Amino acid sequence: MIHVDITVSGVVQGVGFRYFTIDRAGKFGIKGYVKNLPNGNVYCEAEGTDGLIRDFIKLLNIGPSMSRVTNVNVYEAKELKNYKDFKVRY
């Protein structure tokens, strides 16, 4: 299991990006949360197996059809937070 902090930039607010993220996290069994940031980016913390996290990140690089992702920054944290589910945070 790994924990990653992900920041997605571009046209990612107001286009269903958080709900796209929740849907994909559920399909991969990834735990954590996603939220909008005041600067227009989307931030996500995700925990799962290395391979599933990598596949999840690939999908975040694409995003939902109305989004336009310009950058995905990923930082692998040293400690797990042991999330129980995947939610939207406000």
How far apart (Å, rounded) are the C-alpha atoms in residues 68 and 65? Answer: 8
For the chain, 90 residues long, give each residue's pLDDT as a single digit of tens.
Answer: 999 999 999 999 999 999 999 999 999 999 999 999 999 999 999 999 999 999 999 999 999 999 999 999 999 999 999 999 999 999
Which residue among 36, 41, 68, 89 is the active-site one? 36
How confident is the model at residue 11, as a pLDDT?
98
Catalytic status, residue 36: yes
Which residue among 18, 73, 82, 89 is the active-site one? 18
**Beta bridge partners of residue 47, listed in sequence order:** 3, 31
- The single residue listed with the structure tokens 């929740």 is 22
What six digits make up the tokens of 57? 């990140």
Q: Class for domain 2-67, per CATH? A: alpha beta
